[in-house]
Amino acid sequence: MSNRMWGGRFAAGPDAIMEEINASIGFDQRLFRQDITGSIAHANMLAATGIIADADRDAIVAGLAELHGEIEGQKFTFSRALEDIHMNVESALRERIGDPAGRLHTARSRNDQIATDFKLYVRDVIDTLGEQVLALQAALVDRADEEAGTVMPGFTHLQSAQPVTLGHHLLAYVEMLGRDASRLRDARARMNESPLGTAALAGTSFPIDRHMTAEELGFDRPAANSLDAVADRDFVLETLSAATICAIHLSRFAEELVIWSSAQFRFVQLSDKFSTGSSIMPQKRNPDAAELVRAKVGRIFGAFTSLTLVMKGLPMTYSKDMQEDKEVAFDAFDSLSLALAAMTGMVKDMSFNRDAMLAAAGSGFSTATDLADWLVRELNMPFRDAHHVTGAIVALAEKKGCGLDGLTIEDLKQVDERINSKVFSVLSVEKSVASRTSYGGTSPENVRQQVARWRDLLG
């Protein structure tokens, strides 16, 4: 039996294999809201320009509203034989209102229709992800305020480097997420041009008003080139790129939580809500939520790579290859949304072991840079000389099996007789972090200032 949506061009029905590879309704049905919204805007414009009668417009809009309610209420059965969301909606509309439904597709194509639907969907996704990023930032800011004076080791190469404050460390992720939110906003602004009315690829001879549909759908303007409008998937790629970078940031934080929650570190304990046990080892407390967040970047970056490879060799304008844009994007955006929600929950519920952090902050001679800076300031020593002297003092402390603050003044004078007892003012980790008052530094004072700044920015 021929597919009646195709008209008279094809007499035979699709082969089962062709139907299997061609049908997209299994995944693009989630675009029903956007498809119906776009169709209502198109019908309103067709009536306003005199292309269809007002009575037909009224029947179309009422039928689409009824259909929206059925799909929303899960009372609608999608048909694979009708391939995609557009044909399913149009066929169902015809069953409900008859001939007026056949006028809806005037002056448009599935090419501009899917581009419009997908843009509306990605725009909604960006808005949702943006809200989730802000929620995670707010949770981190709250915890940073609580831990503004908590001393912990700062790392380079995962080796103890200099003492920092936990609040400062948490705010580093707030800054990263701020860039993520900015990238999402940029992507939204750049994509906000309407493809609707560009038809298959060349525009239409009907006297349509694309500015009207663009305005009704919340776009800034109609897309200026019909070829580009139906061929463009930059908006998906750019959003997937921003999603990938955001997922990388979440993965880095998740990796730290996995390390910090280990018995070797004991810096943090995740709540029962975000931990699991072992089927064989009763003592285990596994940071599974953090590990799964860490893994999500693979799926999200995979989606970006997949769509990049789909698009890279396509000639103008629309090719069926572009049907492969949706499944990977849907999965990636769902994965990022879930990862953001999980990370926000972990941040709110986790507890920090301040004593373990403080003890670790003093290991590895982490105040050596403070000592070198003191030699420069107090003894007017060139920094490279101070670096050498400090290295000799570290070697002495290592030999004696103590920290820098465990050395006596006599020990220090063995290395350089000009050193005096004032040096002990910089050798504790607490004094080290308190001294880092340069803008962007780790001092508790700075942390509290940045907390206030971020609370103003986040509203």
pLDDT digits (tens, 9 = 90+) for 386-426: 999 999 999 999 999 988 888 999 999 999 999 999 998 88
List the alpha helices (DSSP H) in 5-109: 16-22, 25-28, 32-48, 54-72, 85-97
**What type of residue sits at position 275?**
S
Please determine, for residue 11, whether its predicted confidence score (pLDDT) is greater than 70: no
In this predicted structure, the answer to whether residue 384 has a pLDDT above a threshold of 60 is: yes
pLDDT tens-digit profile of 336-370? 999 999 999 999 999 999 999 999 998 878 888 88
The model's pLDDT over 90-117, given as tens digits with 9 standing for 90+, comes to 999 999 999 999 999 999 999 999 999 9
Q: Specify the amino acid at residue 211.
A: H
> What is the DSSP annotation of 366-378?
TTHHHHHHHHHHH
Instruction: Identify whether 278 is a catalytic site residue.
Output: yes
| Mean pLDDT value of segment 139-163 | 95
State the catalytic residue, choosing from 182, 262, 271, 278.
278
Mean pLDDT within 48-66: 98
The mean of the pLDDT values for the chain is 93
pLDDT category at 8 given cuts 50, 70, 90 is low
The answer to whether residue 157 is catalytic is yes
Q: Which range among 3-7, 208-212, 312-316, 427-431 shows the weakest confidence by mean pLDDT? A: 3-7
Residue 88 has a CB neighbour count (10 Å cut-off) of: 25
**E strands in 131-231:** 151-156, 159-165, 193-194, 221-222
Q: Evaluate if pTM is beyond 0.85.
A: yes
Pairing, β 221-222 against β 268-269: unpaired
Residue with structure tokens 């800011």? Answer: 141
**Residue 2: predicted pLDDT:** 42
Contacting residues for 390 by C-beta, under 8 A, at least 6 apart: 368, 369, 371, 372, 375
At 301 the pLDDT is 97
Tens of pLDDT, residues 309-346: 999 999 999 999 999 999 999 999 999 999 999 999 99
Name the active-site residue from 157, 205, 351, 421.
157
Q: Is the pLDDT of residue 74 over 70?
A: yes
